[in-house]
């Protein structure tokens, strides 16, 4: 068995930590989906964003969070999950800025930095489902 480096352990801890965060966001919102979606939509009623965009997004968000969280926890499709999560955070940041919720924007910037670091350090993704599908062919990882 190959020795796991400190960089790989650090990536693993970061990946599952943010994955659990997203996963639980989805898990707690799905059972109360209608209440969550209606509350989120009401929160955007004073912005330029139309309800026809906000309501479907609000109904979809918990499922997206759940799926991305599962992918990150398992380390399956890690690159896709990290990039998609970063883009989700950018979307949420846009919404918070439209609400002029600058504290929320600041919090989301921490998430954005977190996903930046995950994406930048993907080569350290070792303890993951992804790594089982990799093979070495004539010195190249595939």
Whether the Cβ atoms of residue 127 and residue 14 lie closer than 8 Å to each other: no
Classify residue 13: in a domain, yes or no.
no
> Does residue 119 lie within any of the structural domains?
yes
Does residue 37 register a pLDDT over 80?
yes
> Which residue range is the domain that position 71 belongs to?
18-126
Residue 131 within any structural domain of the chain = no
Q: 34: burial class by Cβ within 10 Å (0-12, 13-18, 19+)? A: exposed
Report how far apart, in Å, the C-alpha atoms of 15 and of each of 12, 30, 136 are. 5, 22, 24
Confidence of residue 138 (pLDDT cuts 50, 70, 90): low
- pTM score of the predicted model: 0.89
Domain count, the chain: 1
Domain assignment present for residue 92? The answer is yes
- Residue 23 inside a domain? The answer is yes
Inside any domain, residue 3: no
Q: Is residue 69 part of a domain?
A: yes
Q: Is residue 136 part of a domain?
A: no
Is the pLDDT score of 134 beyond 80? no
CB 51 within 8 A of CB 41: yes
Summarize the confidence of residues 97-106 as an average pLDDT.
97
What residues have CB less than 8 Å from 24, skipping those under 6 apart? 69
């Amino acid at each position: 068995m190959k020795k796991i480096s400190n960089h790989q352990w650090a990536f693993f801890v970061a990946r599952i930590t943010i994955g659990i965060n997203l996963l639980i966001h989805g898990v707690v919102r799905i059972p109360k989906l209608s209440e969550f979606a209606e509350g989120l939509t009401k929160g955007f009623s004073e912005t330029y964003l139309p309800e026809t965009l906000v309501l479907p997004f609000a109904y979809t968000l918990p499922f997206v969070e759940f799926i991305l969280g599962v992918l990150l926890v398992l380390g399956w499709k890690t690159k896709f999950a990290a990039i998609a999560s970063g883009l989700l955070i950018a979307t949420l940041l846009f919404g918070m800025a439209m609400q002029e919720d600058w504290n929320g924007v600041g919090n989301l910037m921490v998430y954005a930095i977190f996903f930046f670091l995950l994406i930048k350090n993907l080569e350290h993704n070792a303890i993951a489902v992804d790594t089982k599908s990799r093979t070495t062919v004539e010195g190249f990882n595939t």
